[in-house]
Amino acid sequence: MSVYKHEYRAYTGPLTPLWARVGVIVRYAFAEAWSTRITATLFTLSVAPVIVYLVGIYLANNQLARTLIMRGSPMLTIDAGYFLKVLETQSWLALVLAAWIAPRLVSFDLADNALPILLSHPISRFGYVLGKLLALFACLSLVTWIPCLLLFAFQGYSSAQPWVMANLRIAGGVLASSLLWIAFLSILGLALSSWVKWRVVATGIIFAVVFVPAGIGGIITGILRTKWGFLLNAPVMMTQLWQRILGAPPTMQGDLYLPSTAIVTVLLLVCAACVLMLNARIRAREVVRG
């Protein structure tokens, strides 16, 4: 084709390898996620607590500043408990970000029935979903493990004692906990978004799926006096899991703690349900049975 001659010409140039097509999906999904100011605003708000925690680390390691600003308040301790608080804050902000971004990545494609055209190109359904997942995963990484590890590095730099080597478990724990949470959020967000045409509704449903069962779980726990109700309560369940991974001190009564295997099983079951939902929805053609 030529713009001036308006004639068709075949393409004879080089082609990118098949695996690189997932990268195309990631790039366009990432651009779509950041094409709105709301994403930028949410990201800025998500970074704000990191600055507060950064100041906390600075104060904990600078005696003069501590004396001037905190005026004899009890000394801040930078340990697994402190990083657990950072992780909790950032993880719940990541939920907000995921609830906003995930519907943007999928619903535009579904609303205008773009899947037949998208999947008629050399990209599989798995590749398509993987690309969207990676884009969402990358967005959520920016507010979870990346700032957490930066804070860890800053603490290591600021501390007078050899702090880093003695607390490597915190860094590993923060990384593992964040990856677990954002992988869970990404797949949950995409699966729910793929079933709802309207983005705002999808955002609401993502919040509802996390918090409504938490309320039900709380009721079950309260009425039946059993810890198993917490299996529906994502905030409590995740906090318990993160405490163990980071080696942070417990904050609840010992008999209320769920076994780690139960928590992981619930997470895996939810992920499996999400995969089934995506498998049913992300198709070029739907087959009507009967």
Binding region for other proteins (CB under 8 A): 1-3, 6-16, 18, 21, 24-25, 28, 32, 108-109, 111-124, 283-285, 287-290
CA atoms within 13 A on the CB side of 88: 18
Pick 12 or 253: Cβ nearer other proteins: 12
Containing 91, the helix (H) or strand (E) segment is helix 80-111
- Shortest CB 5 distance to other proteins, Å: 9
- Shortest CB 105 distance to other proteins, Å: 11
| Helix, strand counts (H, E) of the chain | 12, 0
Max Cα separation, the chain? 80
DSSP character at residue 247: T
* CA-closest candidate to residue 258, choices 275, 277, 234: 234
Pick 16 or 226: Cβ nearer other proteins: 16
Helix, strand, coil percentages in the chain from 3-state DSSP, rounded to 5: 75, 0, 25
Pick 77 or 120: Cβ nearer other proteins: 120
Pick 121 or 169: Cβ nearer other proteins: 121
- Shortest CB 223 distance to other proteins, Å: 45
- Shortest CB 4 distance to other proteins, Å: 9
Pick 85 or 283: Cβ nearer other proteins: 283
User: Phi/psi at 87 (nearest 5 deg)?
Assistant: -60, -45
Pick 114 or 252: Cβ nearer other proteins: 114
- Shortest CB 124 distance to other proteins, Å: 7
Pick 21 or 66: Cβ nearer other proteins: 21
The answer to whether the beta carbons of residues 35 and 133 sit under 8 Å apart is no
Residues 6+ positions from 193 with CB-CB distance below 8 Å: 102, 103, 105, 106, 107, 199, 202, 206
C-alpha dihedral (254, 174, 216, 279), degrees to nearest 10: -140
C-alpha dihedral (164, 185, 234, 266), degrees to nearest 10: -100
- Shortest CB 194 distance to other proteins, Å: 15
Taking the C-alpha atoms of residue 251 and residue 36, their distance in angstroms, rounded to an integer, is: 39
- Shortest CB 249 distance to other proteins, Å: 48
